[in-house]
Amino acid sequence: MVSEKEDSEIISWRDLQQHALAWINGIYKSFRFFRDVIIRHWRLSWALIAIFALISVGWLYVRAQEFSMSTTFVYGELHPKIFGDMVEKLNALLQYDPAGKGTELLLLTNAQLKKINRINITDSQGKPLVNNYTMRKEPFIVTVNLSELIDEDSLRQGLTYYFNSNPFTADRLDLKKKNWQEELKYINFKLKTIDSVLVQLYAGKPSGEQEKSGVTIENSEGKNAYELLSMSREMMQRKSDLEGNLSYPENVIPIDNFLILPKAQFNTGAIVKYGLAGGMLGYFLACFFLFLNIYIKPLVK
């Protein structure tokens, strides 16, 4: 014999039927409520739909008038976070005093500075440098958000000057150039010595004459002719790299042209998409107001 407790825990077909009917009734009431918002309360719903659709399309138009210009920079020995902090300070300055010290730091006119909304600086993966605590020397990307376009060359020169005008940056660059010059001087001396040995070797001079000259294969760090030639090629390559480094006047160097893109496309497809999104937002807002008025307000009273 089944106890009353066990019998109460058994789900019958009638229970399932009532449960399904309750769900169907709830769905029907929800559908009728959303339908009534459009039909019975059409003034409120369509007004909100139109207002938010226009606001959304207007926002799209404003975004389409803005541009972004991005380029890539390479740099020397400084920590990447230093450049992130420099850009954050520059953004604060442009926000509160765009016509003051900004002209000195970026070498741009007041009219050009007013067109800059914000400057972002990230690594190659799009992460802000202000939060970068690694020691990787990978290039960084600078993106300038603008209300109107600025001459590309002026903006590139201004950013390059700003990054290199930092006293700490300039001091590190001077120290690096001094080390490069010392290394280049040493390489030139070694190349001159190797050339002297190779000239005597391939001239076929007798060993006695080589000893009189004071420079021989034996006393040249134990290198044979093949190793001397290999060493000479490596030093010539390093010399070329050093001369290239010394030819650049800055520590931070742009390596490509600006990529110029609008913030949004103001075309038919975008207008329809933003208009529908704004209209749906207005419709759900109307539903929320009517739900409060019909169901919540009577409970409060």
Average pLDDT value for residue range 243-251: 72
Distance between CA atoms of residues 271 and 58, nearest Å: 9
16: how many CB neighbours lie within 10 A of its CB?
10
What's the pLDDT at 44?
Answer: 86
What's the pLDDT at 298?
Answer: 67
CA nearest neighbour of 146 among 116, 121, 114: 116
What rounded mean pLDDT belongs to the chain? 80
Q: Is the pLDDT assigned to residue 166 strictly greater than 60?
A: yes
What's the pLDDT at 148?
Answer: 87
Long-range contacts: 173-182, Cβ < 8 Å, 24+? Answer: 173/76, 173/250, 173/251, 176/76, 176/77, 176/245, 176/251, 177/245, 177/246, 180/242, 180/245, 180/246, 181/246
Provide the percentage of residues in the chain whose pLDDT is more than 90: 16
For residues 232 and 276, which has the higher predicted lDDT (pLDDT)? 276
DSSP strand pairing (259-262 vs 67-74): antiparallel
Residues in CB range of 81: below 8 A, 6 or more apart = 129, 130, 131, 132, 133
In SS3 terms, 91-153 reads as HHHHHHCCCCCHHHHHCCCHHHHHCEEEEEEECCCCCEHHHCCCCCCCCEEEEEEECCCCCHH
Q: Which of 105-119, 165-179, 207-221 has the lowest mean pLDDT?
A: 207-221
pLDDT tens per residue across span 67-118: 899 999 988 767 788 888 989 988 988 887 766 677 888 888 888 888 898 9
Residues in CB range of 195: below 8 A, 6 or more apart = 232
Task: State the pTM of this model.
Answer: 0.58
Q: Is the pLDDT assigned to residue 216 strictly greater than 60?
A: no
What are residue 73's phi and psi, to 5 degrees?
A: -120, 150
| Structure-block tokens of residue 164 | 């290199």
What's the pLDDT at 144?
Answer: 93
pLDDT tens per residue across span 271-290: 999 999 999 999 999 888 88
Q: Which domains does the chain have, with CATH numbers?
A: 43-65+267-287 (no CATH), 66-170+253-262 (3.30.70), 176-247 (no CATH)
CA 121 to chain CA centroid, nearest Å: 5
| Structure-block tokens of residue 22 | 């309750």
pLDDT tens per residue across span 43-62: 888 999 999 999 999 998 88
> Residue type for 152, please?
E
Highest mean pLDDT of the ranges 46-60, 83-97, 174-188, 222-236: 46-60
What's the pLDDT at 72?
Answer: 92
